Structure 1
Amino acid sequence: MKIAELTGDKPDSKNCDECPIRREAICSRCQPDELDLLDKIKVYRTYQKGETITYMGDEISHVGTLVTGIASMSQVMEDGRRQIMGILLPSDFVGRPGRSIAQYEIVAASEIIMCRFEIKAFETLLANSPTLGPRLLEMAMDELDAARDWMLLLGRKSAREKIATLIHTIALKSRSLLEINIDCDFQFTLPLTREEIADYLGLTIETVSRQLSALRQDNIITIQGQRQITVKDFGHLMNETGNDYSGNVLP
């Protein structure tokens, strides 16, 4: 059984074709000449867990793609209250071409490797590329769908549905990056502690532990140690998210 990881070694910076997120990232449809141009302006940077990638209100100097790791995206109110707006996983795009000020704070929830581009150079390439623009639009639409799903998760879902949704989301991303299609006994490493899961989902640590145990007792997942998760059946897990297979909320 292959174990999926959302963290890993630094990719080969000289060969985009061997990048672990090549199939899912903004460059997924680029032709060889476009990849050569991207290669000239890209820089890999590692962020440690807890390090801020982008501060809300700061000028945007770079955009880029998460290669490994996981990050949180949040907004902070004047009195210090924080609302998690979503999570970012490998292949997700960070930053807004055409916008000068960051609207969100992005913090590394694990060690992260990011493929970064200086924003002006990227915007120039974006304006002249036949593939980057359409792919960025497609990813923006996916991000909009994800934001709506996150609103539903925080506002309407039960604790069990929240935990199931998070596990399902991370498992699907891990499976997609590995380019495999299995529906049972898929094992991956959860890149978040239970405390972090509780913070992201608006739950207590005790509730997170209870719901993980309940999913395990119902033979939907198995847990080894603190973070090694095996999805016994994707269809069964999907049913626990509160959504049907078309993405609608079950009554």
Structure 2
Amino acid sequence: MTGHDRPGEPLVLGVPRAAFRPSPVFLALVALFVTSGALTWQRFGNVRFDVFLFVVSGWLVSLCLHEYAHAVVAYRSGDRDIAHRGYLTLNPFKYTNPLLSIVLPVIVVLLGGIGLPGGAVWVDRHAIPGRLRHTLVSLAGPATNVLFTLLLVAALLIGPGVAGPTEFWAGLGLLAFLQLTASVLNLLPVPGLDGGNMIQPWLSPQYRRMYDLFAPFGFILLFALLWNPAIGGRFFDAVFWLADLLGLSPGLYLLGLELIRFWQG
């Protein structure tokens, strides 16, 4: 019996239904996102603080959905125990390392305006047969970021010319840019990140052992690569090129980044 089990509770494939219900933490984040968006739209009170809440809560909601996508594909691929670990409730505090999963990505958003990969669900790879399923589990998270990017860009291509204050669209523009950077970062073939995990099952045993050796240091390796002027410069050139290609206005997301730093003005 697990912490989710209660006598007489309906089961889904042997798992209590409670393991599939959105957690109060996630629902609170969604409520904060909607409320702060409405406050920004109405320019209520300190609009810079409204935009701050709007962007940060929206980013945290996207982190939860990114990790949920990994978890639900893993569950359907054969890892039934992932439901007992709480990952299907969208509760960010269930992740393996809340500091790296929540705190660090938010700090990076505020300081650098980068959608750093966050969250971490532990998947029992031994319970999932077939290399393709392993790749799909790793792909599910970045695919969520790509989908969010396209939806937000579509809204930005239509909305600003129709109605609403600039601050609202600037916050949405920053969210779109964060999703775009998260999409690109998550798809990089770095050991330990989603992009690397997508190709890991297809490596030869020799290269797989080497990959597994570097995988725990994926975040450090990512920072080292971005810190390098040549590599970091090319990365951001690519991101800005993609933003221009999608029609994402640099003025909007740069204004959004300025607004969320409410303590500066």
What is the TM-score when the length of structure 2 is the normalising length? 0.33
Which structure has more strand as a fraction of its residues? 1
Which structure has more helix as a fraction of its residues? 2
What is the TM-score when the length of structure 1 is the normalising length? 0.34
